[in-house]
């Protein structure tokens, strides 16, 4: 059978149409098992389908839950010890949640401030984490003012590597802003000047009679144990949690595509260009062959 140019174009068009239909089938909404997104991109694409949370949550019974690349994924977000320690100290700051196959997943986001990382965790057993604000509300009636020489106190602290805690007996250390994220830091010259401006009205005594002071200085803020200002090991005796829940049934299931829209567009454009080039080359060869005959 003679392959005329019209027949060739018709066949090439049929093949292109078939491939386009195949691509459109793959692009249909589905509860996909594989999505080519990193955690942040997945959030950016689906944030309109998510529920705003903006709370610090904890998972009881588990010291740390691994972050996933997306809801329902088994792929873990790789974090070094520095970031794992931040999660342990800070808790899971969940920016939003979504309903994925009847289960709520939370987007843990530490990209807008401080360290930069993100990921997804299941929220089935999540509770509200105990925070420094909870401590203030619970124990503010026990605070007392520092009655001794404030300048003398600052001079004493200047001689050691001071550790700042989120609240007394919390077991959670405020990472130093003056030593590149270390657990302790020397007070800077900026910290020990103008002591008259410091507010030492937040003193606290724990159940072991240790005295704590809230220190808000130039490069750091937090609670310092005056009896053991340099220790990084302190019993956790003031903690707790509060129930928290969202019902997945109140929210529509998250709809995702196997191929993200930008990837599909790029794929289709590349295919059309490649098919056009191949078609032109093929037609030229056919034309030269016909001229020879």
* pLDDT over threshold 60, residue 87: yes
* pLDDT over threshold 90, residue 205: yes
Q: Rounded to whole angstroms, how far apart are CA atoms 192 and 151?
A: 8
With a pLDDT cut of 90, the percent of the chain lying above it is: 15
> If 0-12 CB within 10 Å is exposed, 13-18 middle and 19+ buried, where does residue 280 land?
exposed
Residue 94 — pLDDT band, cuts 50, 70, 90? very high
Q: Are 261 and 243 in contact (CB under 8 A)?
A: no
Of 2-11, 240-249, 264-273, least confident by mean pLDDT is 2-11
- Which residues, including other chains, have CB under 8 Å from residue 183's CB and lie 6 or more apart? 163, 173, 175, 176, 232
What are the extents of the domains in the chain?
A: 39-130+241-257, 133-225
Q: What is the pLDDT of residue 38?
A: 63
Select from 160, 156, 151 the least CA-distant residue to 193. 151
Q: What is the pLDDT of residue 181?
A: 44
The DSSP 8-state label assigned to residue 77 in this structure reads P
With a pLDDT cut of 70, the percent of the chain lying above it is: 65
* pLDDT over threshold 90, residue 209: yes
Tokens in use for 154? Answer: 């600052």
Q: What is the pLDDT of residue 211?
A: 93
Q: Rounded to whole angstroms, how far apart are CA atoms 270 and 276?
A: 10
End-to-end CA gap in the chain: 15
Q: Rounded to whole angstroms, how far apart are CA atoms 250 and 215?
A: 44
How distant is the alpha carbon of residue 39 from its chain centre?
8
* pLDDT over threshold 80, residue 261: no
Residue 206 — pLDDT band, cuts 50, 70, 90? very high
> What pTM, to 2 d.p., does this model score?
0.64
106 against 249, higher pLDDT = 106
Note the pLDDT tens digit of each residue in 231-248: 888 888 998 888 887 777
Q: What is the pLDDT of residue 269?
A: 67
Selection from 5-9, 85-89, 180-184, 221-225 with the highest mean pLDDT: 221-225
Torsion of CA 116, 72, 84, 94, to 10 degrees: 60
59 against 248, higher pLDDT = 59
* pLDDT over threshold 50, residue 30: no
Q: What is the pLDDT of residue 270?
A: 72
Note the pLDDT tens digit of each residue in 169-200: 998 888 655 443 445 555 544 554 455 556 67
Average pLDDT over residues 43-61: 85
* pLDDT over threshold 90, residue 141: yes
* pLDDT over threshold 90, residue 139: yes
Average pLDDT over residues 71-100: 86
Q: What is the pLDDT of residue 259?
A: 46
* pLDDT over threshold 70, residue 293: no
């Amino acid at each position: 059978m003679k392959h005329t140019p019209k027949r060739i174009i018709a066949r090439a068009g049929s093949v292109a149409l078939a491939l386009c239909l195949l691509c459109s089938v793959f692009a249909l909404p589905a509860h996909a098992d594989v999505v080519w997104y990193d955690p942040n991109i997945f959030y950016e694409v689906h944030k309109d389908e998510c529920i705003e949370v903006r709370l610090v949550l904890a998972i009881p019974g588990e010291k740390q839950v691994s972050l996933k690349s997306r809801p329902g994924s088994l792929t873990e977000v790789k974090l070094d010890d520095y970031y794992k320690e931040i999660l342990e100290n800070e808790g899971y700051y969940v920016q939003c949640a979504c309903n994925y196959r009847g289960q709520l997943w939370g987007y843990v986001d530490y990209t807008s401030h401080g360290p930069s990382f993100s990921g997804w965790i299941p929220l089935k057993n999540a509770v509200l984490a105990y925070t420094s604000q909870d401590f203030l509300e619970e124990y503010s009636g026990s605070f007392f003012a520092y009655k001794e020489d404030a300048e003398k106190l600052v001079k004493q602290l200047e001689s050691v590597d001071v550790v700042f805690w989120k609240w007394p007996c919390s077991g959670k250390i405020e990472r130093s802003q003056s030593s590149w994220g270390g657990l302790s830091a020397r007070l800077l010259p900026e910290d020990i000047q103008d002591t008259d401006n410091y507010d030492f009205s937040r003193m606290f005594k724990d159940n072991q009679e240790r005295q704590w002071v809230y220190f808000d200085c130039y490069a750091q803020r937090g609670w310092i144990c005056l009896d053991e200002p340099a220790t990084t090991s302190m019993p956790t005796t003031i903690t707790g949690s509060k129930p928290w829940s969202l019902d997945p049934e109140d929210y529509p299931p998250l709809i995702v595509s196997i191929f993200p829209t930008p990837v599909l567009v790029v794929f289709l454009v590349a295919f059309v260009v490649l098919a056009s080039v191949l078609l032109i080359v093929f037609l030229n060869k056919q034309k030269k062959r016909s001229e020879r005959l």
